[in-house]
Amino acid sequence: MNTYSRQQVAFSHGAGSKLWDIQGKEYLDAIAGIAVNTLGHAHPKLTAALSVQIGKLMHVSNVYQILEQEKLADQLCKLSGMQEVFFCNSGCEANEAAIKLARMYGHKQGIENPNIIVMEKAFHGRTLATLSATGNRKVQAGFEPLVKGFVRVPYNDLAAIEQVAAHTPDVVAILVEPIQGEGGIRISDIEYLEGLRKICDQKNWLLMLDEVQCGVGRTGTWFAFQHTSIMPDVMTLAKGLGAGVPIGACLANGRATGTFGPGNHGSTFGGNPLACTAATTTLQVIEEDKLMANAKSIGDFMLQELKSRLGNLPGVIDIRGQGLMLGISLSKPCGELVARGIEKGILINVTVDTVVRLLPPLIYSKADAEQLLDVLCPMITDFVNQGA
Ligand SMILES: *Cc1c(COP(=O)(O)O)cnc(C)c1O
């Protein structure tokens, strides 16, 4: 079906931060399949681990014990401090699990019509419940009636939440991205997340963090909430977790644990041995190769360079970033920069029409970053100066 407006390029293979198209032209990857290819392309440790696993066992049903899944769950709980994990195959599924969990949490307290607070410019996926939670009319239009039970407030605005707390009955949870990715790399304040934690504790609500894009090392810590002092009650992961193999996870902690029992939720493919081996290997390589420290130092370098090379241009509104999640906000729609980048051999992304988004693989070297900046910065400079 015609669901994507695709660029005129097809890749044949990749290695590290590079991809080659079917004509043999080389590209530097600064999008990583939208924050998916954590380890770049064809990472030898991931390729080896997956090859072995494929030769042993790819799939068994969740009616059996799956040791690869247990190992990954233990690893994720150890790294995050969370207590329980449900595995699925994507970000929207992880958020569906979180939404269902919040509703059941409410029902168990006798709340028949539970509400979840969600944010303007949020992105949580494209299933019916998650597009209803998403704060982008383009994602919702044509798919009404939307799923009920979401209350929307401005992002990074504690007063707005307090307002809802005072006036909306039957709230059971807040669902929020610590950094809005599709929304344009908008980074919430530490005090905001800490304030949400306090309100949730006072009200007995669940604080549910969507870390589908910002989780798994990308911001320089395992999870973005680890830049703060708080723990979430629920956290969702997907994109970077399997470094290219589809896997999603919904984690629960504290008062959110024990909500689901057998039969309440499930997935045929979720948590299969292949996907779980991809994820355990990804986590292991991030640790062994110190990729979180790399994400921080390369990300800091890129942010500083972007600011000094582009910050003073009239058409550049803002430059934001944390680790290897970077956004350059322009004063006019800039979707055409994606194709211009392809011509020049760099793969970048544009979101919310006006924000150039960079999500390089965590293996990016200083040389990769310099190569990217040397192509990208003149390209953006020319673009904003056009017609000026
Ligand atoms: C991409 C994304 C999703 C949806 O993930 P899919 O795997 O495409 O379903 C949900 N939340 C956030 C924050 C995302 O970036």
Cis peptide bond upstream of 145, omega within 30: yes
Question: Hey, which of 3, 99, 212 would you mutate to test ligand 1's pocket, going by the most ligand atoms within 8 Å of its Cβ?
Answer: 212
> Which pLDDT does position 11 carry in this prediction?
98
For residue 220, give the amino acid letter: G
**Structural tokens at position 373:** 């900046």
Residue nearest atom 11 in ligand 1 by C-alpha distance: 124
Q: How far is ligand 1, taken at its centre, from the CA of residue 91, in Å? A: 4
Spatial distance between the Cα atoms of 348 and 8, rounded to a whole number of angstroms: 14
Q: How far is ligand 1, taken at its centre, from the CA of residue 143, in Å? A: 18
Spatial distance between the Cα atoms of 176 and 183, rounded to a whole number of angstroms: 12
Question: Hey, which of 180, 182, 267, 325 would you mutate to test ligand 1's pocket, going by the most ligand atoms within 8 Å of its Cβ?
Answer: 182
Which atom of ligand 1 has the smallest separation from the CA of 248?
Answer: 7
Spatial distance between the Cα atoms of 329 and 308, rounded to a whole number of angstroms: 15
> Which pLDDT does position 318 carry in this prediction?
98
Which atom of ligand 1 has the smallest separation from the CA of 89?
Answer: 7
Q: How far is ligand 1, taken at its centre, from the CA of residue 352, in Å? A: 15
> Which pLDDT does position 388 carry in this prediction?
58
Q: How far is ligand 1, taken at its centre, from the CA of residue 110, in Å? A: 31
Q: Which residues pair with 151 in a beta bridge?
A: 117
Ligand 1 is surrounded, with C-beta below 6 A, by 90-92, 95, 123-125, 177, 181-182, 210, 212-213, 238-239
Question: Hey, which of 124, 219, 359 would you mutate to test ligand 1's pocket, going by the most ligand atoms within 8 Å of its Cβ?
Answer: 124
- Supply angle C-alpha 361, 371, 181, rounded to 5: 40
Which atom of ligand 1 has the smallest separation from the CA of 122?
Answer: 13
Question: Hey, which of 36, 123, 245 would you mutate to test ligand 1's pocket, going by the most ligand atoms within 8 Å of its Cβ?
Answer: 123
Domain boundaries, the chain: 11-30+290-385, 48-288
Per-residue pLDDT of the chain (388 residues), as tens digits, is 999 999 999 999 999 999 999 999 999 999 999 999 999 999 999 999 999 999 999 999 999 999 999 999 999 999 999 999 999 999 999 999 999 999 999 999 999 999 999 999 999 999 999 999 999 999 999 999 999 999 999 999 999 999 999 999 999 999 999 999 999 999 999 999 999 999 999 999 999 999 999 999 999 999 999 999 999 999 999 999 999 999 999 999 999 999 999 999 999 999 999 999 999 999 999 999 999 999 999 999 999 999 999 999 999 999 999 999 999 999 999 999 999 999 999 999 999 999 999 999 999 999 999 999 999 999 999 999 996 5
Q: How far is ligand 1, taken at its centre, from the CA of residue 350, in Å? A: 16
Task: Pick one of 3.20.20.70, 3.90.1150.10, 3.30.1180.20, 3.30.390.30 as the CATH number of 11-30+290-385.
Answer: 3.90.1150.10
Which atom of ligand 1 has the smallest separation from the CA of 236?
Answer: 11
> Which pLDDT does position 2 carry in this prediction?
96
Three-state SS letters, the chain: CCCCCCCCCCEEEEEECEEEECCCCEEEECCHHHHCCCCCECCHHHHHHHHHHHHHCCCCCCCCCCHHHHHHHHHHHHHHCCCEEEEECCHHHHHHHHHHHHHHHHHCCCCCCCEEEEECCCCCCCCHHHHHHCCCHHHHCCCCCCCCCEEEECCCCHHHHHHHHHHCCCEEEEEECCEECCCCCEECCHHHHHHHHHHHHHHCCEEEEECCCCCCCCCCCCCHHHHCCCCCCEEEECHHHHCCCCCEEEEECHHHCCCCCCCCCCCCCCCCHHHHHHHHHHHHHHHHCCHHHHHHHHHHHHHHHHHHHHCCCCCEEEEEEECCEEEEEECCCCCCHHHHHHHCCEECEEECCCEEEECCCCCCCHHHHHHHHHHHHHHHHHHHHCCC
> Which pLDDT does position 223 carry in this prediction?
98
Spatial distance between the Cα atoms of 382 and 205, rounded to a whole number of angstroms: 49
Which atom of ligand 1 has the smallest separation from the CA of 180?
Answer: 13
Which atom of ligand 1 has the smallest separation from the CA of 130?
Answer: 10
> Which pLDDT does position 294 carry in this prediction?
98
Q: How far is ligand 1, taken at its centre, from the CA of residue 388, in Å? A: 36
Which atom of ligand 1 has the smallest separation from the CA of 214?
Answer: 13
Q: How far is ligand 1, taken at its centre, from the CA of residue 252, in Å? A: 18
Residue 111 CB-density burial (10 A; 0-12 exposed, 13-18 middle, 19+ buried) = middle
Question: Hey, which of 239, 245, 247, 349 would you mutate to test ligand 1's pocket, going by the most ligand atoms within 8 Å of its Cβ?
Answer: 239
Helix-helix angle 273-288:291-310, to 10 degrees: 70
To 10 degrees, the CA torsion angle through 91, 96, 97, 99? 130
Spatial contact of 218 and 324, defined as CB atoms under 8 Å apart = yes
- Residue listed under structure tokens 């009319």: 137
Q: Kindly report the pTM of this predicted structure.
A: 0.98
Considering the domain 48-288 in this protein, what is its CATH number?
3.40.640.10
Spatial distance between the Cα atoms of 301 and 321, rounded to a whole number of angstroms: 11
